[in-house]
Amino acid sequence: MFKKFIDCLAGITMTVIGGISLIASLILSSLNIDFIFDPAWIAVIICGIPLLYLSVWRIFFNKGISKISSALLISIAMIAAIIIGDLFAAGEVAFIMAIGAILEEKTTQRAQKGLKKLIQLVPQTARRILNNEENIIPITKIKVGDTVRILPGEAIPVDGTIISGNTSIDQSIITGEYLPVDKKIGDDVFCGTINCFGSIDISTKKIGKDSTLQKLIQMVKEAENKQAPMQRIADKWASWLVPVALLIAVCSYFITDNIIRAVTVLVVFCPCALVLATPTAIMAAIGQATKHGVIIKSGEALEKMGKVNTIAFDKTGTLTLGKLKVSNVISFSSKFSETSLLKLVASAEMHSEHPLGKAIVAHAKENHIALISAKSFKMEAGKGICASVNDIRLLCGNEKYLTENNIKIPENVKNALTTLRNEGKASLLIAADGICIGIIALSDIIRPTAKTVVDKLRKMNTQTVLLTGDNFQTADYFVRQVGITSMQSELLPEDKVKALITLQQNGKNVCMIGDGINDAPALKTADVGVAMGNMGSDITVDASDITLMNDDISKIPYLKRLSNATVHTIKLSISLSLIINFVAIIISVKGLLTPTTGALVHNAGSCLVVLIAALLYDRKFD
């Protein structure tokens, strides 16, 4: 019941009411107007009781020196001011502390929606095949060794091995690969991935918490729990602030025999400016970043960004646009020009749902190539398509598909395929009337700013690393294109997490930048996680500390400069507030300040800190 009462006193509305009551108290006091009661009591109750509750709670439940906090010192000053009848001073120190708490809460709130969305990706039912009968049952009733059927378009409910059928699986949720992966009998499939085309039966290998998707969820949970909330600087210093303040106040009382001076020392010693130094600077920096399309979720992330010396990038959708584009049209037949070859293949692929086929059709339309209606269209999942265009029987697919249809692949075609694969490109072989006539290759598009960003980071003495689920050839070609110094390929989510932990154990402060659901655990594990806002999934954005709303990775060097300036501003504000407190203590001991005037001086120091922080908002960092 009491905790609910404390919660009712918290929040912006109640704090504003407390501030208004303080203004009313100051006006009435300056005009010598007697009122039924001093309005400052409202601020004392609204802002002071939660503060007192917090300080007492920490004494009983915190361990070690964390029992002594800035809340304890301010509570002592507040109680002392109430005892001598200076309610304005008591309410003022409590009010400033409440403002600091609200500002810090606003800068350190972490989104939790992403984890819920990730959990929702787990299928709740499965098609179990038992005694040649198909039944849809709850996923909890599936056991290891059961046969499960997955139809086209359905999410795979368990980890397993294909025992019947061929298909292509969109497993970007797990590996981040931008293309569906062809699967055949004997290949493994993962829970949560999408069966794109053919119907398949799988033998269940892992269920429940052992499945790949559930492990992904667990990694996000564990990484979230490891993220400690940002400590207030005043609390870090409270272990010596409290005893020093009490010692000076007691000495002042015994030397001067004046309780007013002792209470004034406690009031001006309150670390309210310290409390405000961090959240105000961080809020100004967050506002500055927002103007540039960068969303920063916590002050801790902003502070850590300045210490980052290693940037780990995901590839697809981060350093690339995540969009397939036709890069090469190669004809090996004198009968077909590159344009006519593209026209034939695009015409055949018009009915295809495969991303490669769609990209080829889109490329033909962009080049204003008139397509022809295809006949006898047939698709074999995970292999390719067969269609008749202008009475030409076309086969478009992988090497295995052509070989199975008794089509010989010449040596020069194989050499071209090897070259294209080494460049990280996906290739489609084309055969016409039983003869291999060409290749169409597709690749992801590197962001125009990728190489510039990597170069800028290198000049800032920041190492760059590529962590990707793509194969080695694709990753190796890519790092050579953009100038990244190190890379690891074919990584599952847990592998990315292990790679980041290894970097951290080697003394690196790591920032991870990614866009896919599979990057969520890595974003949580890194010292700072940055998500691509436009392309990135909601889960990835929620898992990150910082979000690039325009997918503009050129903002990464800007973020480092901004965070450095923010830390510098916080240190400057702390230094000035300590100087003001030191001077105020001296003149308080001499009797030149009362608790009320001391509270006003103390408030002026807090205002100075806010003004210094506000300068961050319009500073230029480009």
Answer whether 356's CB lies under 8 Å from 348's CB.
Answer: no
Q: What whole-number distance in Å separates Cα of residue 394 and Cα of residue 389?
A: 7
**DSSP alpha helix (H) spans, 139-192:** 172-175
**CB neighbours of 229 closer than 8 A, spacing ≥ 6?**
108, 300
Q: How far apart are CA 482 and CA 247, in angstroms?
A: 61
**d(C-alpha 444, C-alpha 178), whole Å:** 8
Phi first, then psi, for residue 335 (nearest 5°) are: -80, -20
d(Cα 513, Cα 531) in Å, to the nearest integer? 6
Helices (H), 460-594: 472-482, 493-505, 520-525, 538-543, 555-589
Most distant CA atoms of the chain, gap in Å: 110
Do 192 and 213 contact (CB within 8 A), yes or no? yes
Token pair 């809020």 in the structure block, residue: 283
CB 391 within 8 A of CB 385: no
Please enumerate in sequence order all residues whose Cβ is within 8 A of that of 375, keeping only pairs 6 or more positions apart, or say none. Answer: 387, 388, 389
Residues 6+ apart with CB under 8 A from 580: 273, 601, 604, 605, 608
240: which residues sit within 8 A by CB, 6+ positions away? none
Taking residue 385's Cβ as centre, other Cβ atoms within 10 Å add up to 23
| Contact criterion met (CB below 8 Å) for 579 and 608 | no
Choice among 38, 86, 146, 314 that is catalytic = 314
Beta-strand relationship, 147-150 and 181-183 = unpaired
- CA dist 259 and 478 (Å) reads 73
Are 293 and 562 a contacting pair, CB within 8 Å? Answer: no
For the question of residue 170 being annotated catalytic, the response is no
- State residue 445 phi and psi, 5-degree precision: -100, 125
Q: Cβ–Cβ contacts within 10 Å for residue 288, how many?
A: 21
CB-based burial of residue 195 (10 Å sphere; 0-12 exposed, 13-18 middle, 19+ buried)? buried
Secondary structure element (H or E) that encloses residue 359, with its range: helix 355-366
Q: Which of 535, 527, 539, 129 has its CA nearest to residue 137? A: 129
Q: Residue 84 — φ and ψ, nearest 5°?
A: -90, 0
Residues 516/317, Cβ–Cβ less than 8 Å: yes
Please state, in angstroms and rounded to a whole number, the distance separating the CA atoms of residues 494 and 250.
Answer: 58
Q: Report helix, strand or coil for 161.
A: strand
Q: Which of 503, 501, 506, 540 is nearest to 523 (CA)?
A: 540
Q: Using an 8 Å Cβ cutoff, are 439 and 396 in contact?
A: no
Q: Which residues are catalytic?
A: 314
